[in-house]
Structure 1
């Protein structure tokens, strides 16, 4: 619990930094961890950044790709009494581009049909083009 409180304190500091950023900057959140608390903080920080008008993009790789599946459930955390999956769905509803890594589906027994609506599969050349843009800030978990 102390760790979560410390992370929320960090969150508010980060949100203040995001407010000071220029309009040309965007946040690229790359999530690989299967740890639900880590996933939650990634989604909280992405949401807070979006709330501060910072464009956000999310890439789910490795075990974090499971968040992209329709039937995946994740535990809720207080506050805000929501789960990483619920926050991810909220980001999608607000127009955030969310993709799984290009190698996620082909190396598991899932297809694009199994993905939550609004989640795509990243094309490595396109992601590389996005990453090299000036003003893209990386946030990896």
Structure 2
């Protein structure tokens, strides 16, 4: 009985810790490589500090979501913003391109990295209005 209570307490504490992750949406529209890089560095840092991050990419920043995304490597770590986005995705972040990106860029859903889709405005709007969500724009 005592072991069962201990196991139940640990399970509840673990699920509570997961539920308490700070939701953050990073909205990235900047064309500047350095701004894109800083947004992705901070995205990764927020994740490491316990946040559940979603990245919304619009305008030229939507290009980071492409399978063939390249870009200029930034010092001091010689990584591109696209590589930093990939690192965040591997650690559990989610990402989408804004609903206007695909129809206005000449790209298709097949051009996007696995797991990245076009955001649905109603769902994105609802997420941005969540009371505990932080929204950060670059």
TM-score normalised by the chain length of structure 2: 0.82
**Secondary structure at the counterpart of residue 48 of structure 1:** helix
Paired position in structure 2 for 1:139: 136
Residues 37-68 of structure 1, C-alpha deviation per residue, up to 9 Å, x if partnerless?
Answer: 00000000000000001111100001111111
Among 44, 55, 65, which residue is 1:68 paired with? 65
C-alpha displacement at 1:24, in angstroms?
5.1
Paired position in structure 2 for 1:128: 125
After the TM superposition, which segments of 4 or more aligned residues of structure 1 sit over 3 Å from their partners? none
Among 104, 110, 127, which residue is 2:101 paired with? 104
Contact 1:24 1:135 in 2 (8 A): no
Unpaired runs of 5+ in structure 1? 1-22
Paired position in structure 2 for 1:13: none
Contact 2:46 2:53 in 1 (8 A): yes
Paired position in structure 2 for 1:25: 22
Paired position in structure 2 for 1:94: 91
C-alpha displacement at 1:29, in angstroms?
0.2
TM-score normalised by the chain length of structure 1: 0.80
Distance 1:96 1:49 in 2: 10
**Secondary structure at the counterpart of residue 57 of structure 1:** strand
Paired position in structure 2 for 1:80: 77
